[in-house]
Amino acid sequence: MKLALVSIAVRTKSERFDTLTSDYAGRVEAYAPIEIMVFKTSESFFDSLDRQKSRMGTMLVLLDPRGKQLSSADLAGWIGKKRDEGQQHLVFAIGPADGWSDAERARANLLLSLGPMTLPHELARVVLSEQIYRAFTILSGHPYHTGH
């Protein structure tokens, strides 16, 4: 299974956040290939998604305040289930500052919320990349999740 971590933002504002995101993404690579991508607009993101030849094998997860809130263990279970079902590509996308449109939300296979608080894009990327890494460590029985 391949992963993509997408954010819709004009630019990243802090190299420190980029470093943290890259660190967690590097850790995820031990379990699955992951690509970090930034698009300036949601339109350019969806155009790119539509052009992918493997679209049929792509599952889209949009981060949205109205989305489902999952515990780390539940996210791990969901990712593990998709992996075991043979899902080829999971795309996690953090939306634009004004949020996803209703039409964009309708395209998602899952709406996921990191919680009711508003986070800067850069911090949301760090949190999401860490949670994806944590999910894979839970699935593999690695002690990271339990703090050992």
pLDDT, tens digit, for every residue of 46-79?
Answer: 999 988 755 668 999 999 999 999 999 999 999 9
pTM of the model: 0.93
Task: Report, as an integer, the average pLDDT of 78-100.
Answer: 95
Q: Which residues are annotated as a binding site?
A: 63, 95, 114-119
CATH topology of domain 2-143: Alpha/beta knot (3.40.1280)
Question: Domain extents for the chain?
Answer: 2-143
Report d(CA 35, CA 48) in Å as an integer.
14
In the numeric block, which tokens belong to residue 119? 């986070």
What's the Rg (C-alpha) of the chain?
A: 15
Tokens representing 3 are 């992963």
- Confidence at residue 54, expressed as pLDDT on a 0 to 100 scale: 59
Binding site, annotated residues for S-adenosyl-L-methionine? 63, 95, 114-119
- Say what percent of the chain tops pLDDT 70: 95
pLDDT in tens, 3-61: 999 999 866 678 899 999 999 999 999 999 999 999 999 999 999 998 875 566 899 99
Half-sphere exposure of 68 (CA within 13 A, CB side): 11
Closest CA to 94 of 19, 26, 35, 8: 8
